[in-house]
Amino acid sequence: MKAKTHLSIGFIGAGSMGLPMLKNLISSGYSVTVYDINTGVTNRLEKDKIRTVNNLRAIANNDFIISMLPDTPDVLGVFNRETGINQFLKPGTIVIEMSTISSSSSIEIGKELQKSQIEFLDAPVSGGVKGAIEANLSIMVGGKKDTFNKSLNILNCMGKNIIYAGKLGMGQTFKMCNQIMVATHIQSMCEAFALCKSKGGDLKLLKDTLVGGAANSWMLENLGDLVIDKNDKAGFRIDLQLKDLRLASEAAFETGVSLPGLALVQSLYLQSRAYKEGKNGNQSLFKTYDRMTNQK
């Protein structure tokens, strides 16, 4: 449904996630202008009649700025005090930073922008490309409650489960907790399947049995069959999973909490990458288990 709005959005980063998200904003009635560093991306958007610009200055004059970029250094570059978009943003602009990056960097960027009366939310997402296309992402938001309330209509165009997580940086902290559980659930599924296989058990039957009981998980339901069929197709890639586990480890170092499960699963995913499986979907951790248990 088209929103009755005159609000404009500058969208930075039209990749696997950003592109479907910005398309949902356009179909909801928002006026969206896009900047992406890759001109191949912006040329394709222009062909689809989506407005693009070729520098950060040209995108700064919007009511909202949304960014969906790969990693912390990319976001720090875009929101750099001296060379980034900051110098061009007008007071009252709301920045919604939706990439998965370090919570401490989010806090740093948010505090810097607030000095110039620019409002900031850290709002990473969960739900993958499918969730982005279907506009049912989970969005975990940190920042001022008032800024969150002003941004809700926009967030609702991209997601279904919009959670106010708390103060600045708390969206990213929630996302890291999410990623620890995603990875350890996959790891425990691969481990259970490895034992069952070693005993000659029926993996399909095991999966159907576990789905009905206390061991069920989103990973078992959605990725279990891919593991059994040895399908390593990319959804959420091993490389991205490792990036998120690295961010979670950095956060654990910052507060000094011991998270042994995180250390273990990070090490297993590093093995996958060492075998050049970084572009595979994160369920392909089963290959590491096949190697460790000498099974096919």
Q: Which residues bind ligand NAD (CB under 6 A)?
A: 12-18, 35-38, 41, 68-70, 74, 77-78, 99-100, 125-126, 128-129, 236, 240
Classify the phi-psi angles of 217: left when phi > 0, otherwise alpha if psi is within -120 to 50, otherwise beta: beta
Please name which of 171, 186, 240 lies closest in space to residue 16, comparing C-alpha atoms.
Answer: 240
In this structure, what token pair is assigned to residue 148? 């969150």
Q: Which two tokens stand for residue 44?
A: 């394709």
Provide the β-strand partners of residue 120.
95
Q: Spell out the residues 6+ positions from residue 188 whose beta carbon is closer than 8 angstroms to its own.
A: none
Using alpha carbons only, what angle is made at residue 175 by residues 252 and 89, rounded to the nearest 5 degrees? 105
Q: Which of 280, 284, 250 is nearest to 268 (CA)?
A: 284
Reported in sequence order, the residue ranges of the chain that DSSP labels E, i.e. its strands, are 8-12, 31-35, 64-67, 94-97, 119-122, 125-126, 137-143, 159-166
**Which residues, in sequence order, are bridge partners of residue 137?**
159
In sequence order, the 6+-apart residues with CB closer than 8 A to the CB of 208 are none
Query: Do residues 123 and 171 make contact, with C-beta atoms less than 8 angstroms apart?
Result: yes
Is beta strand 119-122 parallel, antiparallel or unpaired with respect to 137-143? antiparallel
Residue with smaller CB distance to ligand NAD, 22 or 206: 22
CA–CA gap between residue 101 and residue 264 (Å, rounded): 21
Identify whether the C-beta of residue 25 lies closer than 8 Å to the C-beta of residue 72: no
Is the Cβ of residue 30 or residue 236 nearer to ligand NAD in the bound state?
A: 236
- Minimum CB distance to ligand NAD smaller for 84 or for 143: 84
Q: Which of 23, 175, 197, 287 is catalytic?
A: 175
CB atoms within 10 A of CB 253: 10
Q: Are 284 and 232 in contact (CB under 8 A)?
A: yes
Nearer to ligand NAD, 66 or 206 (CB): 66
The answer to whether 199 is a known catalytic residue is no
Amino acid at 268: L
Closest residue to ligand NAD, based on beta-carbon distance: 15
Minimum CB–partner distance for residue 77 and ligand NAD (Å): 5
Catalytic residues: 175
